[in-house]
Amino acid sequence: MNAEKCEFLAANQQIEIIPRISEKVVHLISGDVGPFEAGIPTKIPVWMALMLKRKHHCHIVPPGWLAIEELKKILISESDNLGLSHLPDMFFELSHMLVKEASDNIFEVDQVKSLIQDIYDKREAKLRTSAITFLSQNETCHAQLDGVQPIEVASSRATLEACKQMAILIRNKHQSTPI
Amino acid sequence: MEESTSSFHENLEDEEEEEFVTPDVVMKRMCESWQNELASPCLLPSKMELVEILLDQIQGMEENIGRQSDKVQLRISVHRMELQRVSYMTSDYIRCRLQKIESNPRYYLNEHNRRIEEGQTELLSELELKFATEYAEAEAQLFGKTVLGFMPHALQKMPVPVDDLNVEMVYARVLEDDVGNVSIPDWTDPNSEVIIELEKDTVHLIPFTSIRHLVEEGKMILL
């Protein structure tokens, strides 16, 4: 799993749009979408929303959490909380796609961007510290990381190789007989 | 990839579907299987039946599009884009599996036979089995011509490297309630085990062998 594939999966999520066109129900393999009526909000998969957006056929309604006030709350809880706080599903993937492709539908997009970056940095720092703590012990081979986002797992995939080396070391230690 | 898709397709024409599931459920399962296969350190049991259903859908949809007279319609381009997304996912799934098979065909052939003997689900699909057998044979011939032929008789054996899955770790999320507990090796004492409780929606960094059965049953997903 890499960042592109995380984003691909995130594009299957549903998002609200306000269409500018009218269209009958579309029967997709992944389910029916529509009918569309200009001006009436409806929910469709993100990939389709972005596609319509590129053709100027719709206005994307950003999810409730993609607003300055909400993001500030998340940032504060991220600072107060020692562990990772719980974010909406596919938080970074969705916000990245929306900021990139639908920036004109997001209110004060620059501030939104910098808040998301702050949240990401805070979480990354926590993850890095916990990875270092985990890799510098030799008692347990289990760690719980609730609320971790797919993109964060993708970027900390290298830890797995380190864990493997550790497991090999531990096994060798158990197999060798003390003198 | 195009060629292999069409050859997979011919194969399913004569097979009837056992149970009726809606395409969107198939898509969801396919997404999960794809994600698991990408993140897993070894080959997981084949989910080729999902790929076949989706390929069937793709073909049906392509025929539908072909019948439309107005090619610039918005709905056509939406359908096209979905087709591309679905075929990307299925192709990448197959590609990922083939890469794993190519890395160690003999090991996976043995595993496949062992699973069948033990009455578990099959590791390789029919076509993958054929591919693995042919690949292993071609590899053996190459080895014979270049190296093994010049070795003393006693050493003329094909090496089968065995990946040690006991040291592999994965990230995984619990999908269901009441998954129960799993045991993981205790690093402080080689003779004991630690019990870990798996609650719904928790994410764990955990040895792969401890949760492998849960991933195969669809109770956990690899990240």
List, as ranges, residues 82-101 from B with C-beta within 8 Å of A: 82, 85-86, 88-89
Q: Nearest-CA neighbor of B26 among B9, B44, B49, B4? A: B49
d(CA A6, CA A3): 5
pLDDT per position as a tens digit, A130-175: 888 888 887 788 888 888 888 888 888 888 888 888 888 888 888 8
Q: What is the mean pLDDT of residues B142-154?
A: 84
pLDDT per position as a tens digit, B199-222: 888 888 888 888 888 888 888 888
Tell me the chain A residues in contact with residue B202 when contact means C-beta distances shorter than 8 Å.
Answer: 144, 146
3-state secondary structure of A50: helix
ω into residue A35 within 30 of 0, thus cis? yes
Q: Nearest-CA neighbor of A17 among B176, B78, B35? A: B78
pLDDT per position as a tens digit, B60-71: 888 888 887 776
- Helix count and strand count (H, E) for chain A: 7, 6
Whether B181 has its CB under 8 Å from any CB of chain A: the answer is no
Long-range contacts of residues A95-99, Cβ cutoff 8 Å, at least 24 apart: A95/A66, A96/A7, A97/A7, A97/A10, A97/A11, A97/A46, A97/A50, A98/A60, A98/A62, A98/A66
List, as ranges, residues 78-137 from A with C-beta within 8 Å of B: 134
Token representation of residue B139 = 């590899």
Beta strands per DSSP E along chain A? 14-19, 26-28, 31-33, 42-45, 58-61, 143-144
How far does chain B reach from its first CA to its final CA, in angstroms?
26
Residue spans of the domains in chain B: they are 2-137, 165-222
Tell me the chain B residues in contact with residue A134 when contact means C-beta distances shorter than 8 Å.
Answer: 205
Residue A178 confidence (pLDDT) = 65
Q: Tokens 């040895």 belong to which residue?
A: B207
Token representation of residue B120 = 């578990």
State the ipTM, two decimals.
0.85
pLDDT per position as a tens digit, A51-96: 988 888 888 998 888 888 888 888 888 888 888 888 888 888 898 9
Number of domains in chain A: 1
Residue B12 confidence (pLDDT) = 41
Could you give phi then psi for residue B134, rounded to 5 degrees?
Answer: -65, -40
Pairing of strands B181-185, A42-45: unpaired
d(CA B37, CA A154): 14
- Give the structural domain span for A132: 3-175
Decide: A127 and A152 in contact? Cβ < 8 Å. yes
Query: What CATH number did the domain enclosing A71 receive?
Result: 3.40.5.50
Strand partners, A61: A16
Token representation of residue A1 = 């799993």
Residue B95 confidence (pLDDT) = 92
pLDDT per position as a tens digit, B28-57: 888 889 988 888 888 888 888 888 888 888
Between chain A and chain B, the number of residue pairs with CB atoms below 8 A apart is 111
At A130, the amino acid letter reads S
Whether B29 has its CB under 8 Å from any CB of chain A: the answer is no
CATH class of B165-222: alpha beta
Which residues 6+ apart lie within 8 Å of B86 measured at CB?
A29, B27, B54, B57, B58
CATH number of B2-137: 1.20.58.1030
Tell me the chain A residues in contact with residue B91 when contact means C-beta distances shorter than 8 Å.
Answer: none
Decide: A77 and A31 in contact? Cβ < 8 Å. no
d(CA A156, CA A171): 24
Which residues 6+ apart lie within 8 Å of B40 measured at CB?
B170, B208, B215, B222
